[in-house]
Structure 1
């Protein structure tokens, strides 16, 4: 940020509470009860310093008490740590996983060829185990085949849903009987296990004419900063092409788009200079304390997640799906994460964060923050890997 802005950022960063720390790992020999006790002890320390603002937002969004909100944050942190280990334990039998808010733990789906030892190991680590027909590898292959089809505009997108053990195709509700839609669905079902859901509207991007976490401007478009990286920040690709100049909230020059991809992907990064610098902070806009960024561990499906953007500021919801193909008017974008969080024009590129872990940058969706809607983001780790960037963390 420019020096005139840093005073505000410095104060808010100092006021930030520690947020969630790292959850402990499960010993291979621990029983389910022992694992729960270990997790509970670690989680008590982790959630002791969660800000009142974040707890308040969790209470409002999910109808929880303060203690229930703390318990959910702790359980989600444990599930986030467990998910990659569960994938490794299940191996070829892995069929996806998700956080079950009612049970307060991760559910791991496996195919019937998972050995008893594998299922026992998952259970002892604290996960619920569900037997399903199709592996994650089979579902991903089916989704890839659907990606090769030409989709009409009334098909909003598709993704692998581990709970349904299927590729779910989303169709605009009043267009389901359309002949082009029905032809697409026939071809999609031939590609593998497919189910159909209806949605209220077709997705669109959330860029806006001169309207952002913190806003930035390129040409006559306003978007939002996603996350600071060393040397700049990441954001949405549809906000600007490589080489385009970027101005900050005060109109001063920041830098240029160094790389940008849209459609197919929706990510970009901007270099920072001219008196601006990066800080590992996501704005809470007075709804919650500004959030320090401590890493980018990926939250599981079902976990709570919040978004910061310059138009509608801070809103929260849950992760609904991963690896979704979104069929925008400009072309399909792949490997997106779907959420129940609302957004509006100008929020594009802004931060999706779970606890203190960066998740991704806002891409698009449908609806608004008055009547509700759904929003997709491009996962931040994919952006970092694509451009060889390092997330700026506290």
Structure 2
């Protein structure tokens, strides 16, 4: 291995969620209950305070509520059946909200601890409508489109300065003829976050610097636009590290890099001193509205919220499908880096707009899709 790995106790000290030990004997009536352990490290709470404007107490409460919401989402989806209209985490209410096209399943869904909202279109119908939009060629002034369960429509995002361009207006008109559409604006067009060779804790291919996503058995996953299959990869110190075994971009934005002997994988996402390094426990999907953090070799540890899923992002190189949109900022060189919610891997950084000084939005390619595409197994603790 070409870099120093911190001692094992320090790694395991990076656990996001603490585990309470259940008592196996009666507690005397006069004994005060032990204080509730913190749900997250001080560093993570500091990052959430900085990026989400929360107090430490609010951040802890939100993390607990988000974990509970993620735990009931699949059961709520099954309970709703064909009337399922999508779901999202509501920070104000601290619970999952499930959209329904019929009230007949409302009581069953609410019994799971979720809120409900009556809507017109099912999630399946909206997904089919978005798929029809995916078949259209989009001009550069269209940033992307996704299904928004909260709006119960397909949201088409256009670049503000291009909103009146004939090609953009024509695309929006065709979209509205195809699906229930809501149009929103963004300040800038999305771009990928690869960068030229600079210092940091990256990997390199050619003269491009990108960031490692998640360890898998045999290597790691990252962004496809960082390198093509067969390309050699150098580690942070410039020494030979591995080879791109598979890569897809555009259409998708993911890749698999196998590593050489002398390097090994660990189930850890770097916290860059802002938070303790995060252990990866799995890849359960965080709902829309959940808090999420990103680790990258340029802007390091940044947090925000999940804004949308299954969005088609229209880069200048071509459209990329099934992306997740977040309010997390990023900059050049962050491409490929890890998005994580709690201790659950979410995806690898693709691109976005803006920066970490003025703000912006960033998309990631979901990690479970990458694992399935290449038959990989996530390295977990």
Residue 140 of structure 1 and its aligned partner are, at CA, apart by 0.4
After superposition, the C-alpha distances for 1:152-171 in whole angstroms (9 at most, x for unaligned) are 10000000000000000000
Aligned mate of 2:255, from 268, 271, 282: 268
Residue pair 1:226, 1:360 contacting (<8 A) in 2 also: yes
Return the match for 2:163 from 176, 187, 196: 176
Are 1:139 and 2:129 an aligned pair? no
Within the candidate set 119, 140, 163, 2:150 is matched to 163
1:81 and 2:68 aligned: no
Find the counterpart in structure 1 of residue 94 from structure 2. Answer: 104
- Go from structure 1 to structure 2 and tell me whether the alpha carbon gap of 1:292 and 1:123 turns closer, same or farther (over 3 Å shift): same
SS of 1:289 mapped into structure 2: coil
**C-alpha distance after superposition, 1:143-200 (max 9, x if no partner):** 0111111111000000000000000000000111111111111100011100100000
Aligned partners of 1:14, 1:260: CA distance in 2, in Å? 32
Deviations 1:340-389 (A, max 9, x none): 00000000000000011000000000000010000000000000011110
TM-score normalized by the length of structure 1: 0.90
Task: Give runs of ≥4 in structure 1 deviating > 6 Å.
Answer: none
**Do the aligned residues in 2 keep the contact of 1:247 with 1:253 (CA within 8 Å)?**
yes
The alignment covers a number of residue pairs equal to 368
| CA apart distance, 1:81 | 1.1
Aligned partner of 2:40 among 43, 50, 56: 50
Checking the alignment, whether the CA contact within 8 Å between 2:39 and 2:60 is kept in structure 1 is: no
Deviation at 1:17, TM superposition (A): 3.4
2:243 to 256, 271, 274: 256
Q: What residue is the counterpart of 2:17 in the other structure?
A: 19
Partner of 2:57: 67
Q: CA deviation at 1:318?
A: 0.2
Match of 1:119 in 2: 106
Q: CA deviation at 1:88?
A: 1.2
The two structures, once aligned, show a CA RMSD in angstroms of 1.8
1:376 matched to which residue of 2?
363
Task: Report the TM-score when normalising by structure 2.
Answer: 0.93
Change (3 A) 1:319 1:390: same
Structure 2: give runs of 5+ residues left out of the alignment.
Answer: 21-32
Q: Give the whole-Å Cα distance in 2 for the aligned partners of 1:231 and 1:312.
A: 27
Matched with 1:215 is: 202
